């Protein structure tokens, strides 16, 4: 698994430290995986898979299931979710559900953005 993780780090031009900070998985945990001192738990593997927008299957094996399992139902939903993920304030307020429609996701996104504007007094 760690070899695939390293490959994803390189492909996405991020460091293990950044993944650690963004996912809440400690650097020590990542280091233990790398050195074979411990095995990743399912919840942490899923966080990493979500972070890189790959399936758990891909993270574990380097291969997708037949038919190419994806986390989001379409590209538009994926783009909105990525914007939410990259914005610290939005990410803290909203945990993206993979089965959200683009319309529903946009509505949540717009609502959160409007609340941010009101809080800053930008009415």
Residues of the chain with CATH 1.10.260.40: 2-61
Nearest-5° angle of CA 1, CA 23, CA 10?
50
Question: pLDDT: is 49 or 75 the higher one?
Answer: 49
In angstroms, the CA 7 to CA 16 distance is 11
Higher per-residue pLDDT: 36 or 78:
36
Confidence of residue 62 (pLDDT cuts 50, 70, 90): confident
> What local confidence, expressed as pLDDT, does residue 104 receive?
77
Between CA 1 and CA 87 the distance in angstroms is 28
- What would the pLDDT profile of 64-90 be if each residue is shown by its tens digit? 665 555 566 667 777 777 777 777 666
3-state helix, strand, coil in the chain (%, to 5): 65, 0, 35
In the DSSP assignment, the letter for residue 72 is: S
Q: With respect to CATH, is domain 2-61 assigned 1.10.10.10?
A: no
Q: Are 53 and 79 in contact (CB under 8 A)?
A: no
């Amino acid at each position: 698994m760690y070899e695939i993780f390293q490959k994803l780090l390189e492909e996405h031009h991020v460091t293990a430290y950044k993944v650690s900070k963004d996912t809440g998985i400690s650097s020590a945990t990542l280091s233990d995986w790398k050195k074979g001192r411990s095995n990743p738990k399912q919840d942490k593997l899923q966080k990493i898979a979500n972070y890189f927008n790959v399936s758990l299957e891909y993270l574990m094996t380097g291969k997708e299931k037949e038919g190419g399992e994806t986390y989001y139902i379409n590209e538009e939903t994926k783009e909105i979710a990525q914007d939410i993920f990259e914005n610290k304030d939005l990410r803290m307020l909203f945990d993206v559900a993979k089965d959200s429609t683009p319309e529903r996701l946009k509505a949540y996104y717009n609502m959160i953005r409007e609340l941010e504007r009101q809080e800053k007094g930008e009415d």
